[in-house]
Amino acid sequence: MGGPLQGPMAGATGGRTPLLWAAAALAAVTGALHLYFAFAFFTAEPGLQVVFLGIGVVYLAGAALGLAGWRPDLVLKAAAGWVVLLIVTWGLGAAYGRTVNLEPLALADKAVEVALLVVLLLLIRARKAAAPARVPPSGAT
């Protein structure tokens, strides 16, 4: 499906569309929030601190890879799956009374993640629509 920054990811703003910039900004915001959570709330629990550090780093790395145009189909699909995994994990933790933070900042972070998921799905859909139709090889059944 096209190389880096082709189709709907290529725009007038340095080869990147406003939608891609929005995805990167949302990923950077939630990544920074997870880094903040790691140091602000979980200093007494090193295990959770490492988890939140990892989540923050993955979000920031994903934003960088998306803006760099490295394997955009892979990055977009992996990012969407990652966000779904985190939202579902958080929701299950809340449903079963686990240590889920319902502070306003944590809820704002979930809102950012939901917005990021919507933007990622729009980018995936736009790339799929812009991809050339695949023609089966002659003689294939």
The answer to the question of residue 90 being in a domain is: yes
Residue 68 inside a domain? The answer is yes
Assigned domain for 110 exists: yes
Does 73 reside within a domain?
yes
The reported pLDDT for the residue numbered 98 is 66
- For the chain of 141 residues, list the mean pLDDT of each consecutive stretch of 10: 47 70 98 92 79 96 96 96 95 75 85 98 93 74 59
Q: Structurally, how many domains does the chain consist of? A: 1
Domain residues for the domain of 47 are 12-130
Q: 30 is written with which tokens?
A: 């939630």
CA angle, 91 then 92 then 93, to 5°: 90
At 8 the pLDDT is: 46
CA-closest candidate to residue 66, choices 124, 137, 109: 124
71 assigned to some structural domain: yes
Judge whether 112 lies within some domain. yes
The verdict on residue 141 lying in a domain is: no
Is position 5 within any domain? no
Check: CB of residue 83 under 8 Å from CB of residue 113.
yes
Measured distance between the N- and C-terminal CA atoms of the chain, rounded to whole angstroms: 23
Beta strands in 61-126 (DSSP E): none
